[in-house]
Amino acid sequence: MSGASSGTGAFTGTPILTVRNLRCTIAGQQVVEDVSFDVPATGITAVLGRNGVGKTSTLRGILGLISRRGEVTLAGDRIDGLPTHRIVRRGVGYVPEDREVFSKLTVAENLALAERQRNPRREFVAELFPDLVARREQQAGTLSGGQQQMVSVARALLNDNRLLLVDEPTKGLAPKIVTEVADALQKASKTVPILLVEQNLEVVRRLADDVVVIAGGCVAHVGKAGDLLDDEDLTRRLLGVHAEHAA
């Protein structure tokens, strides 16, 4: 734990998600030891931490995709005992680290498969991603990495979710595409709160209101994104990088 902003209570207002003492295992191996934090009901909360520290596993544990213990609430209701499909139906959208688009299907087919509700937000998604409208009939496997990422984000935005979990959306993308994906997430965050795993600290600085830093299997720091990134020593200590060199 570091500084006065550590702990789970740095945010005010009613959180959309609370995570208490989350422990996750994969094939009997502990991959998340004891993680607790809140996600505010508005804006973007970034999950940070060095490689392999358990960021993806934390998201997958919240969704019940891996074996987990602890307490997770969504809008005040416990969801830690529910299977993944019921958590999704309650309004948790997931944009996974590896995008998981159906490469043999077209963009339009990928999006149609994601529609869960009677009135999907097609116009909103088309406004955010005009490039995908132009490529409706293109096979998703032939898209660039950035375009596939947009399909993956678009799928989650078609439904009226209460929370999005987005895992490293800018990883491996060219700088111009990083900006496009960040722009889309920023616009999306006006309509739905986002829990965002992101290693690109320039993107974090631009998008995130709050940060949760995982280190050693636990939460090492929570607070305002700007406060962490303005504190070079703390950023280096927690993440092993300089904020200004991390684009």
Ligand X SMILES: Nc1ncnc2c1ncn2[C@@H]1O[C@H](COP(=O)(O)OP(=O)(O)OP(=O)(O)O)[C@@H](O)[C@H]1O
User: How far apart are the C-alpha atoms of 51 and 9, rounded to whole Å?
Assistant: 26
Min dist. Cβ of residue 59 to Mg ion (A): 8
Q: Which C-beta is closer to ligand X: that of 12 or that of 29? A: 29
Task: State the SS3 of 158-223.
Answer: CCCCCEEEEECCCCCCCHHHHHHHHHHHHHHCCCCCEEEECCCHHHHHHHCCEEEEEECCEEEEEE
Is residue 51 within the footprint of ligand X (CB under 6 A)?
yes
Contact 13, 38 (CB under 8 A): no
Is residue 57 within the footprint of ligand X (CB under 6 A)?
yes
For 230-233, which contacts have Cβ atoms below 8 Å and span 24 or more sequence positions?
none
User: Hey, which residues between 93 and 152 contact ligand X (CB under 6 A)?
Assistant: none
Q: Which C-beta is closer to Mg ion: that of 51 or that of 119? A: 51
User: How far apart are the C-alpha atoms of 244 and 107, rounded to whole Å?
Assistant: 37
Q: Which C-beta is closer to ligand X: that of 97 or that of 109? A: 97
The option from Mg ion, ligand X, none interacting with 76 (CB < 5 to 8 A, set by class) reads: none
Q: Which C-beta is closer to Mg ion: that of 182 or that of 197? A: 197
Is residue 75 within the footprint of ligand X (CB under 6 A)?
no
User: How far apart are the C-alpha atoms of 110 and 99, rounded to whole Å?
Assistant: 12
Interface characters, 17-46, with ligand X (x: CB under 6 A): ---------xx-x-x---------------
* Residues of this chain that bind ligand X (CB under 6 A): 26-27, 29, 31, 49, 51-57
